[in-house]
Structure 1
Amino acid sequence: MTTPAKSLTTLLQRTTITDHEEVLRACTASLRASKDDAETQCIKFVALLKLDRYDDALRVLEECGDGLKQRVGVERAYALYKVGELEEARGIAKGITNDRGARHVEAQASYRSEDFANAAKLYRELAGSQAAVAGEENDLRINSGATDAQLEWTRQGALVRRKKPGREDLEAFETAYNAACGSIARGELGQGEVLLTRAKDLCNALDELTEQEKTAELLPISVQQLYLLSKLGKTEEADKLASDISLQEIPDLSTRQIAQNNKLAATPSLPNPYLSHRLFHSTENLPKTDHLFKLQAERMQQNGLALDLLVSKFKGVVKTTSSLLSETSPTTSAHINNIAVLNAAAHAQSQLARVGLKQILPLIEKRPKDIGLVMTVIQLYVLTNNHGSALAVLESLIKRLSESTNSDDQDVLFAPGLVALQVSLYTQQGRKSQVKAVLAKAASYWRHRSKAPSSLLQAAGLSLLDSSNIEDQLVARDIFDSLHTQDPSSKFETAGYVAANALTFPQKVAAEAETLTPVARLIASIDVNALENAGVPSLQSATSATSRKRPLDEKPKPAKKRVRKSRLPKDYDPSRKPDPERWLPLRDRSTYRPKGKKGRQKAAEKTQGGASSEKAAEARVASGDGVIKAPEKAGGQAKGKKKKGKK
């Protein structure tokens, strides 16, 4: 007589049961009679996977022992991946060799654990070999596109082999959406907008999807489109799109949280910060299996702290950010430096200029190497037009980093952003020699390192190439030689390579010079006479936002003074020309006409060419009058001097 387990196995092999619940019930009933039947245990495990009950499936594996775990290694790794145990899933899948399914699980687990470089490598290997099942090629294209987009977001774009979307990427809405995300991450916002519109059109055109399924697929695309419209400054379109997005229809909690954030950021109709703060924190907590990527989580944390500042929760922001800034070592992490800025804003209670500086400056003594804090102080000094103090704070930071023996501090010292800030402040003060010195030091530090920032080396090479110092020119030649070797297709680096070697080794760069665009073609569309007739551009002032030109023969017009309305008389008429002598006393004006005989006599004496009082007296003496009488009072008696006495 056969055992129940064998009877179940024989029955399952002969039937075609598609209801996994029925298979699970049959396996459970059979295992009550024979708990150690490995075949039935394996069938039950697979049935639980088909029903998406991954926790129960893993519990069955733990109860059955190592024998079943070895048998279903790929399935076990997949179950661990689905419950969020990413590192364990990667380790198990990596240990299974010569198995295409294991490579897929390893790539997916690597993607979710944000090891995008490894995921891209695995997908390239899978795409290079023959597909094992139908539809696998399309899945590989979709997953590879998503991985490339994440590499662009995390500033690992050098690992992306295809920058421009191909024709096959425009045939499915998933691949078009991934290509759009990659373009947005690279800053190609116009192309990203076109690709997102293409993805929406392709999704709406699918007949095999129901309306509910289409809505579920279109909502994440709309959330990304809302972010793009905000970046492009299309506020009206963004506001309209935000009103059309229904948060409750988004099945993924992580996507729902991002959608809520984007709606608050893009909707100008919510001026109340307290309401925005409440809506931002109204989303549910994310489970382990649906968490945000690190970059997204950091942005969300920064936005939450910014809303806390808007509702005056300064002490809470100080407490939260101080715990994140416990380490005193400098860093180039954008997230940590942004947290330092929020910490400074909380200490200053969102005050700017001198009021904010008074509260923030003491913090530098506690965190002298905090890059975000120092940048905040420099920015406040620049806003108050105090560039000297800003440069002094920066030079103090540079000195502290230069004296450090830590290699990480040296990487921060010569970080492209910090070098660019030094160059900007020195250029603003016209200190060209310091600019060349800073770029030369930075180039000397990065030249012999594997991950040297090419933009910094390009700027350093261009500046040193313009120097009259022979040593600077030699350094510039070495820089462009190295850059040209790394990327011969770059026009900028090829031009620098030719310019650096043209005088000393003209034959060496003759071939590269032929590939550059001739100067005659570059200036063919420039009309020199028109430029001369247009005039010489005037120097732009520090507060001017636009440059203005004036003809060569035109004299600059004096600036008109604007008079406040409070200082104008009530009967002021702008059509009437004001009296130019209105500021003189009445008797000094040309229109003054004195009244009476004595007034006219005084006026005659003051008139240029008239007889003065002394000359008039001399004239009367000469005429024989003899005596000048004292003036009389109305009573006819002269006023005498009173004697001192008692009153």
Structure 2
Amino acid sequence: MTEKSAKDKTISAQYAELNKFSQNEDFERALKAANKILGVAPQEYLAFHCKIVCLIQLGRFDEAIGHINKNPEYLQTLIFEKSYCYYRLNKHQEALETIAKCESEPDLRTKELQAQIFYRLEQYREAHVIYQNIIKNTDDDYEEERLTNLYATMVFLEENERADLDELRETPYELCYNKACMLIASENYLEAEKKLKQCEKLCRDKLEEDDITEEEVDIELALIRIQLAYVYQKQQRIKEAQVLYTSTLKLKLQDVATQAVACNNIVVINKDQNLFDSKKKMKIALNNTLVHKLPASQRKYIALNNAILNYYINQADQCEKACKVLESQWPEFAHQVMILRSLNLIKADKISEAIKLLLDNQNTHQESRDIYVDLCMAQFYLMKGDKMEACRVLENLGDDGAFRPGIVGALTTLYLALGYERAALAVFEKTVQFYKKTKVKAADLSSFWRQAADFHIRNGHPQVAANSLEELLSVNNDDNKITAQLTLACAQFDKERALKLAKQLPTIKELSQDIDLENIQLLTAVNLKKSPAVGKTDSSLPNTPRMDEKKKKKHHHRKGKLPKNYDASAQPDPERWLPKYERAGYRRKRDRRLAKDVIKGSQGTSSGQSEQFDFSSKKVEEIGSDSVTEPSPKNRQQKKGVSQQKKKNKRR
């Protein structure tokens, strides 16, 4: 056998092995077979192409790019493979540059890759144009996938650049989901809610056909449910949104981007509550791999929420680091960064430094001054106690802010609190002149005109008040109350006009046409009867009793009866209020039976002491004079016995 025939036999055998391994998706052994072919025949292009494909399938993108660069003669035929490797390495600019080196018209797969790269680079218009051209010029089984990508690009376009939503397809569920996202971008949350629920049903029906478990169905539905929770959150249905976010995060989600969005939105719901939970959620939302999985519009808000969370949990250093990241990567958040830094200073009781920080920021950004920053500055001045400086800041907001009804109300309140009525009056006059020049509809400022009129009438400026009432009357021609107020105001400086306006007011007869006087009288009488403190009633009202007819009953107190032998000049017995058994001369019956000289005292008493215990020989006067002593401590108990005896006597 010749050397050439042996070489050919080896190549054919290895190609057979290569084909077998590639069909079995055993790319590691397929790569070895390709290397054997290239070892025998280095110029074998098919084996080289198979080697590059095996490296891509194994995720060895850098190695694949290195082999292509070593063989520049194969570049034009491997444009797609090289650009795809750059795309997977997130080197999108290098991928576009590789496609641009293509000398001929790029093939279909290269165009689709180019559109996907534009989408990752957030160049949505360019991606939209490419997908439109591909769909027009192709007719294969991948139309639904291309339509899904086309709808995804339309979400980020302006509303006037999108196609008519009614003409867009809604099946399969991927198309319905992207259509719901377009409605969310247009802030049409009610319709978006309906589409998302329809999308969830379509997805569930499709998954149930594949006979998978309920847990796997929930994982597939996670993205739709999180989007639905976002719609609830925008509609201020916070509890429903929180339930959906929490239940979805309990699943074993593989998509890091979906987890990050749900965690960030829960942090927004928590605000300054549940800070420990928010801190855990924010760690998930700040995953480094999200740089290439979420668009910049979402990542910048996650970074802003992280800075705000650090402020809430009193981590000033971490908040400052987050502010620096925001300032460097997203300059559009410059005002928010300044406010966060000033709030950190306020927490440290450095109000003057916070005000200086905001002042410096406003001076350096004169062209893009933010009213919100000025309002924060005014609030800081009020916290400092400097009301005049707060008024100065509010007056210098410019035409866009100084004449807003809320700002005008705050200014007048502050000036009146300081006692500057003239300054408050000047604020109202300037505001009235401004709205007359700009010709703003009075219907939008009806409450302002009413407040202005009341303020000017109270401060003795009827002419200015009349101007405000005229603005109200131009919208509400049939409002008699406004006409009456305008009549009273004009009566102070223009009597002729006041008379004309008074003629437009309805007469008393016209006002009382629909009033039933009899019913009013009856109702008044009923209310008077029910009233606890009724004065004099009107005699004209029927069935109303007069107070003079009802004579008050006089209660006569009877005099107490005196004894028959009562002597008013005699001194009463000092023991008359004591019970009988407590009086000095009281003796029990058994004691009376004893002899005068026989008395049994307590143990140890002598017979000589018996006389002092014998009260039979003493007169009543002597007994009464000797027995006045201090009350006994047992008197409370004894009196209780007397009261009980009295009760018994009463029952008899």
Identify whether the pair has TM-score above 0.5, normalized to the shorter chain.
yes
Answer yes or no: is 1:171 the counterpart of 2:171. yes
Q: Counterpart in 2 of 1:487? A: none
Cα–Cα, structure 1 residues 365 and 337, in superposed 2: closer, same or farther, change >3 Å? closer
The separation in 1 between residues aligned to 2:132 and 2:24, in whole angstroms, is: 36
Residue in structure 1 matching 2:373, options 376, 379, 382? 376
Q: Deviation of residue 313 (structure 1)?
A: 1.6
The separation in 1 between residues aligned to 2:387 and 2:163, in whole angstroms, is: 44
The separation in 2 between residues aligned to 1:316 and 1:186, in whole angstroms, is: 36
Q: Counterpart in 2 of 1:187? A: 187
- Is the 1:340–1:372 contact (alpha carbons within 8 Å) kept by the matching residues of 2? no
292-301 or 384-393: which moved more?
Answer: 384-393
TM-score by length of 2: 0.55
Cα–Cα, structure 1 residues 118 and 389, in superposed 2: closer, same or farther, change >3 Å? farther
- Is the 2:260–2:285 contact (alpha carbons within 8 Å) kept by the matching residues of 1? yes
- Is the 1:84–1:288 contact (alpha carbons within 8 Å) kept by the matching residues of 2? no
Answer yes or no: is 1:424 the counterpart of 2:404. yes
Cα–Cα, structure 1 residues 357 and 83, in superposed 2: closer, same or farther, change >3 Å? same
426-435 or 194-203: which moved more?
Answer: 426-435
Q: Deviation of residue 61 (structure 1)?
A: 2.7
TM-score by length of 1: 0.56
Q: Deviation of residue 300 (structure 1)?
A: 0.4
Residue in structure 2 matching 1:122, options 109, 125, 130? 130
Q: Deviation of residue 197 (structure 1)?
A: 0.9
The separation in 1 between residues aligned to 2:89 and 2:308, in whole angstroms, is: 33
Answer yes or no: is 1:304 the counterpart of 2:306. yes
- The one-letter amino acid of 2:235's match is L
Q: Counterpart in 1 of 2:340? A: 342
Q: Deviation of residue 14 (structure 1)?
A: 7.8
Q: Deviations over 1:216-273 (max 9, x none)?
A: 43112222222221111112212321231136622122222222222333469x9331
Q: Counterpart in 2 of 1:102? A: 110
> The residue matched to 1:20 in structure 2 has which SS?
coil
- Is the 1:344–1:376 contact (alpha carbons within 8 Å) kept by the matching residues of 2? no
Q: Counterpart in 2 of 1:3? A: 7
Unaligned segments of structure 2, at least 5 residues: 409-427, 445-475, 486-505, 512-530, 534-652
The separation in 2 between residues aligned to 1:67 and 1:233, in whole angstroms, is: 61
Cα–Cα, structure 1 residues 165 and 141, in superposed 2: closer, same or farther, change >3 Å? farther
- Is the 2:21–2:30 contact (alpha carbons within 8 Å) kept by the matching residues of 1? no
- Is the 2:345–2:351 contact (alpha carbons within 8 Å) kept by the matching residues of 1? no
- Is the 1:308–1:314 contact (alpha carbons within 8 Å) kept by the matching residues of 2? yes
Answer yes or no: is 1:287 the counterpart of 2:314. no
The separation in 2 between residues aligned to 1:391 and 1:89, in whole angstroms, is: 57
- Is the 2:261–2:285 contact (alpha carbons within 8 Å) kept by the matching residues of 1? no
Cα–Cα, structure 1 residues 213 and 45, in superposed 2: closer, same or farther, change >3 Å? farther
* Structure with greater helix percent: 2
Answer yes or no: is 1:200 the counterpart of 2:180. no
Matches within 5 A, 1:575-614: none
> The residue matched to 1:292 in structure 2 has which SS?
coil
Q: Deviation of residue 193 (structure 1)?
A: 0.9
Cα–Cα, structure 1 residues 301 and 88, in superposed 2: closer, same or farther, change >3 Å? same
The separation in 2 between residues aligned to 1:192 and 1:29, in whole angstroms, is: 57
- The one-letter amino acid of 1:24's match is L
Cα–Cα, structure 1 residues 302 and 288, in superposed 2: closer, same or farther, change >3 Å? closer
Q: Counterpart in 1 of 2:559? A: none
Q: Counterpart in 1 of 2:151? A: 145
Q: Counterpart in 1 of 2:543? A: none
Share of identical aligned residues, percent?
18
Unaligned segments of structure 1, at least 5 residues: 399-418, 441-458, 464-529, 540-550, 555-574, 578-647
Cα–Cα, structure 1 residues 363 and 122, in superposed 2: closer, same or farther, change >3 Å? same
Q: Counterpart in 2 of 1:217? A: 220
- Is the 1:344–1:373 contact (alpha carbons within 8 Å) kept by the matching residues of 2? no
Q: Deviations over 1:49-105 (max 9, x none)?
A: 34555444334434x421233221012212221221111112223443242222211
Q: Deviation of residue 348 (structure 1)?
A: 2.1
Answer yes or no: is 1:92 the counterpart of 2:89. no
Count how many residue pairs are aligned between Structure 1 and Structure 2: 424
Cα–Cα, structure 1 residues 44 and 435, in superposed 2: closer, same or farther, change >3 Å? farther
> The residue matched to 1:226 in structure 2 has which SS?
helix
The separation in 1 between residues aligned to 2:164 and 2:45, in whole angstroms, is: 50
The separation in 1 between residues aligned to 2:270 and 2:186, in whole angstroms, is: 25
The separation in 2 between residues aligned to 1:538 and 1:161, in whole angstroms, is: 54
Cα–Cα, structure 1 residues 538 and 238, in superposed 2: closer, same or farther, change >3 Å? farther
Cα–Cα, structure 1 residues 3 and 178, in superposed 2: closer, same or farther, change >3 Å? same
Cα–Cα, structure 1 residues 326 and 363, in superposed 2: closer, same or farther, change >3 Å? farther
241-250 or 28-37: which moved more?
Answer: 28-37
Q: Counterpart in 1 of 2:356? A: 362
Cα–Cα, structure 1 residues 289 and 345, in superposed 2: closer, same or farther, change >3 Å? closer
Q: Deviation of residue 379 (structure 1)?
A: 4.5
Cα–Cα, structure 1 residues 421 and 177, in superposed 2: closer, same or farther, change >3 Å? farther
The separation in 1 between residues aligned to 2:109 and 2:223, in whole angstroms, is: 28
- The one-letter amino acid of 1:381's match is A
Answer yes or no: is 1:261 the counterpart of 2:264. yes
The separation in 1 between residues aligned to 2:12 and 2:49, in whole angstroms, is: 15
- The one-letter amino acid of 1:257's match is A
The separation in 1 between residues aligned to 2:394 and 2:216, in whole angstroms, is: 55
- Is the 1:149–1:185 contact (alpha carbons within 8 Å) kept by the matching residues of 2? yes
Cα–Cα, structure 1 residues 220 and 552, in superposed 2: closer, same or farther, change >3 Å? farther
Matches within 5 A, 1:39-78: 39-62=46-69, 64-78=70-84
The separation in 2 between residues aligned to 1:209 and 1:58, in whole angstroms, is: 41
Cα–Cα, structure 1 residues 139 and 358, in superposed 2: closer, same or farther, change >3 Å? same
- Is the 2:249–2:262 contact (alpha carbons within 8 Å) kept by the matching residues of 1? no
Q: Deviation of residue 334 (structure 1)?
A: 4.6
Q: Deviations over 1:549-575 (max 9, x none)?
A: xx9999xxxxxxxxxxxxxxxxxxxx9
CA RMSD, aligned part only? Answer: 4.5
Cα–Cα, structure 1 residues 349 and 381, in superposed 2: closer, same or farther, change >3 Å? same
- Is the 1:107–1:118 contact (alpha carbons within 8 Å) kept by the matching residues of 2? yes
- Is the 1:216–1:250 contact (alpha carbons within 8 Å) kept by the matching residues of 2? yes
